[in-house]
């Protein structure tokens, strides 16, 4: 049974905390109370959008067993008209109001009827078939309806952001059938969550994690022709069919710390993995006795890793929790060795052993052979596009001629506001810029084999009939700076290093594509996947489950997070990234403060501006809440 959740505010961040499991709805009285509550809320919205906010609404609380089902469903059906702040022109918007009411009626009837049929003992499939009749009237009621804006500014019809792809802004046509199908998909997940047979969704999970991939290297920003995305499969099959996070970050932008945090669900100051090696870094520093694969395996999942584990990995060790272990002994594009379930297999320099392709074929094979009676967790972790960024021979030169990347902070001329480590970097010469441009090009070319691997994995899921019950996650272990502030490659406190791509495709939680602005972190994956799988995560997990963020029912979300770094050319630092401010402190007693809303390229460090003194002080205090033990100034 999925645990109920409640929210606790802690120093500006909302933490999703397990609560005692709520009773599930199991009686006809529960159904009646759900329907009464939903119908009254829907009637209130309908009356107020037609007659104005002075209409006196009646209400009835839903049963406790229903949790937020009623309020979530009404918000989904009415969007910004929940309730409308004023009446609209009923004559001019007659068709739009008819469509809006049909959506509302369909949603209300569906949640009540499906819950009723489940309580009567019908299967989920039969309950859905019987319950969806009123939703199936939406395409007819909304036929040829164009979304319109009233003179008061109210948009009709409107729906929750989960359905915006089917009900666009003013002037866009309502996609009735798309909307109806998506409503059924999402609502059945919500009803099942509170119904008599409530259980975790337990999807198959495919987590694809690239190495050193910038956040902007999937779509058109670095397209070779301006029309083809850098990674067309990832763009069209994951981003455009799922939830794409526009604010996705890692909490330590370096390979081993980030990967350890992902698997453990904890910040690096908790895992103790601060670097790629040494006494406080890499494989030797990582306690992997309680990690995501351990929890998933205990919950009945078949687990497999294909590619890179943790920097400094020593073969023939096989980490706890993994049923299938195909891990680089030495991470490379060619001339590498894989530990294949305890047997070391060497690969040479032939085109056919390009490591991304070999890992692709292994991943496809495990999907093809996966038993249908047991869910699986597949962790696909290629080297690409990490340096030396060697593309597959078939892709070499495919991005030749791409314009050099020159954002406003590239090879930044005036770094007088920056800390000493930046000021100590001399401006790049023409030769340096040319060499880095060549590397950038090869990174894009490396991603072509990854995109092909993603296509092969998705096709294998489709061929085996597992695509609809598989969550696919695409992410990177850290970002990469291509010369911003004179810096390459990573570990920096700037957006280019810490921001990463993240897209999640799973129709039961997100049946239509949308962009999500909430912060998604690498430390969130462990808790998210554990909740979906019905697994028990480590009690020390510091990430948050994104399940309710994905399905649009999270009442709120984190407003900031911690980013941290140890050792090296860049001094040890800790940083708070919030909205809109980013505040950073170094152990050298230097500080930085940027307004990310007006200075997206972080050109102006405003920490010494007297007008920002209160903001800096508040963020300094917040930093010490997020990073216990961080020294006081």
pLDDT digits 0-9 by tens, 571-589: 999 999 999 999 999 999 9
Half-sphere exposure of 604 (CA within 13 A, CB side): 10
| Same domain assignment for residues 274 and 378 | yes
How many angstroms separate the Cα of 47 from the Cα of each of 81, 98, 155? 11, 13, 16
Q: Which of 162, 194, 226 is the last residue of a domain?
A: 194
- Largest Cα–Cα distance in the chain? 76
Residue 13 tokens, joined:
């961040």
Q: Kindly state whether residues 139 and 209 are assigned to the same domain.
A: no
Q: pLDDT band at residue 331, thresholds of 50, 70 and 90? A: very high
CA pair distance 78, 323, nearest whole angstrom:
46
Predicted confidence (pLDDT) per residue in 484-515, tens digit: 999 999 999 999 999 999 999 999 999 999 99
Please tell me whether residues 249 and 281 are part of one structural domain: yes
Any domain includes 632: no
pLDDT at 460: 98
> Confidence class of residue 632 from pLDDT cuts 50, 70 and 90?
confident
pLDDT band at 162 (very low <50, low <70, confident <90, very high): very high
SS3 state at 40: helix
Average of per-residue pLDDT values in the chain: 95
**12 falls in which pLDDT band (50, 70, 90)?**
very low
d(CA 192, CA 326): 37
Q: What angle do CA 160, 161, 165 make, to 5 degrees?
A: 110
Q: Please, what sign has the CA dihedral across residues 191, 195, 200, 205? A: negative
- Strand partners for 16: 7
Residues 379 and 439 in one domain: yes
What pLDDT is recorded for position 7? 31
DSSP conformation class of 608: T
Give the whole-angstrom CA distance, residue 82 versus residue 48.
9
Residue 586 lies in a domain: yes
Q: Are residues 516 and 482 in the same domain?
A: yes
- Tell me, what's the pLDDT at 372? 84
Spatial separation of the C-alpha atoms in residues 173 and 178, rounded to whole Å: 12
CB atoms within 10 A of CB 588: 12
Query: Can you give the pLDDT at residue 20?
Result: 33
Q: Does residue 513 belong to any structural domain of this protein?
A: yes
User: 147 pLDDT band (50/70/90 cuts)?
Assistant: very high
pLDDT of residue 277: 95
Answer yes or no: do 342 and 299 share one domain: yes
> 167 lies in a domain?
yes
524 with 610, same domain: the answer is: no
Query: Both 358 and 484 in a single domain?
Result: yes
Domain region containing 190: 25-194
Residue 199 domain flag: no
**pTM of the model as a whole:** 0.94
Do residue 277 and residue 144 come from a single domain? Answer: no
The answer to whether the beta carbons of residues 97 and 218 sit under 8 Å apart is: no
- 411: domain CATH number is 3.40.720.10
* Domain identity same for 341 and 485: yes
Domain end (from 145, 167, 194): 194
Q: Is it the case that residue 461 has pLDDT exceeding 80?
A: yes
Q: In 428-507, which ranges are continuous DSSP H helix?
A: 430-463, 495-498
Distances 135 to 17, 131, 141, 190 between C-alpha atoms, Å = 34, 8, 10, 16
Tokens in use for 627?
């990073």
Instruction: Tell me, yes or no, whether 14 lies in a domain.
Output: no
Calpha distance 282→331 (Å, rounded): 14
* 18 part of a folded domain: no
Task: Kindly report, residue by residue over 395-424, the tens digit of the pLDDT.
Answer: 999 999 999 999 999 999 999 999 999 999
pLDDT exceeds cutoff 90 at 18: no
**194, 223, 238 - which closes a domain:** 194
The count of structural domains within the chain is 3
| pLDDT(11) > 80 | no
Tens of pLDDT, residues 196-227: 999 999 999 999 999 999 999 999 999 999 99
Domain assignment present for 380: yes
The answer to whether residues 310 and 327 belong to one domain is: yes
Are 596 and 558 contained in the same domain?
no
Supply the pLDDT for residue 22. 52
């Amino acid at each position: 049974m999925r645990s109920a959740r409640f929210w606790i505010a802690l120093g500006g961040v909302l933490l999703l905390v397990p609560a005692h499991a709520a009773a599930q709805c199991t009686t006809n009285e529960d159904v009646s109370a759900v329907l009464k509550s939903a119908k009254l809320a829907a009637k209130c919205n309908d009356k107020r959008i037609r007659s104005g906010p002075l209409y006196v609404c009646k209400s009835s609380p839903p049963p406790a067993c229903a949790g937020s089902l009623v309020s979530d469903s009404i918000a989904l059906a009415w969007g910004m008209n929940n309730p409308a702040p004023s009446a609209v022109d009923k004559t001019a918007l007659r068709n739009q109001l008819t469509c809006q009411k049909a959506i509302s009626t369909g949603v209300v009837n569906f949640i009540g009827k499906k819950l009723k049929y489940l309580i009567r003992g019908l299967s989920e499939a039969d309950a859905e078939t019987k319950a969806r009749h009123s939703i199936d009237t939406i395409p007819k009621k909304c036929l040829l309806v164009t979304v319109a804006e009233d003179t008061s500014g109210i948009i009709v019809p409107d729906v929750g952001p989960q359905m915006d792809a089917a009900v666009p802004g003013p002037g866009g046509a309502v996609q009735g059938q798309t909307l109806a199908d998506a409503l059924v998909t999402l609502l059945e997940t919500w009803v099942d969550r509170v119904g008599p047979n409530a259980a975790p969704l337990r999807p198959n999970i495919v987590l694809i994690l690239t190495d050193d991939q910038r956040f902007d290297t999937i779509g058109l920003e670095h397209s070779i022709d301006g029309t083809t995305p850098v990674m067309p499969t990832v763009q069209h099959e994951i981003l455009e069919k799922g939830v794409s996070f526009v604010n996705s970050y890692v909490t330590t932008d370096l390979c081993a710390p980030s990967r350890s945090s992902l698997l453990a669900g904890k910040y690096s100051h908790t895992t103790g993995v601060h670097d790629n090696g040494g006494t406080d870094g890499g494989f030797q520093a990582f306690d992997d006795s309680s990690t995501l694969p351990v929890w998933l395996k205990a919950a009945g999942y078949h687990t497999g890793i294909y590619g890179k584990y943790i920097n400094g990995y020593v073969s023939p060790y096989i980490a706890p929790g993994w049923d299938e272990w195909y891990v680089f002994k030495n991470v490379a594009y060619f001339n590498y060795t894989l530990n294949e379930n305890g047997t070391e297999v060497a690969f040479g320099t032939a085109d056919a052993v390009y490591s991304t392709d070999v890992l692709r074929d292994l991943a496809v094979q495990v999907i093809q052979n996966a038993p249908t009676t047991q869910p699986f967790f597949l962790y696909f972790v290629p080297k690409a596009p990490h340096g030396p960024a060697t593309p597959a021979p078939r892709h070499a030169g495919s991005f030749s001629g791409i314009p050099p990347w020159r954002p406003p902070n590239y090879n930044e001329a005036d770094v007088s506001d920056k800390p000493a480590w930046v000021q100590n970097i001399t401006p790049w010469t023409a030769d340096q810029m040319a060499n880095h441009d060549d590397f950038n090009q090869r990174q894009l070319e490396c991603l072509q084999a990854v995109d092909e691997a993603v296509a092969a994995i998705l096709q294998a899921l489709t061929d085996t009939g597992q695509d609809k019950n598989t969550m696919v996650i695409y992410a990177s272990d850290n970002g990469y700076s291509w010369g911003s502030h004179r810096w390459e490659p990573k570990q920096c406190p700037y957006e280019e290093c810490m921001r990463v791509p993240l897209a999640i495709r799973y129709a039961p939680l997100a049946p239509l594509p949308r962009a999500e602005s909430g912060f998604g972190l690498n430390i969130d994956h462990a808790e998210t996947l554990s909740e979906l799988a019905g697994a028990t995560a480590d009690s020390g997990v510091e990430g948050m489950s994104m399940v309710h963020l994905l399905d649009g029912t999270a009442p709120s979300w984190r407003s900031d997070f911690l980013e941290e770094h140890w050792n090296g050319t860049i001094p040890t630092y800790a940083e708070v990234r919030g909205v809109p401010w980013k505040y950073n402190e170094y152990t050298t007693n230097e500080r930085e403060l940027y307004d990310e809303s007006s200075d997206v390229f972080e050109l102006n460090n405003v920490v010494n501006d007297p007008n920002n003194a209160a903001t800096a002080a508040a963020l300094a205090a917040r930093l010490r809440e997020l990073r216990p033990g961080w020294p006081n100034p």
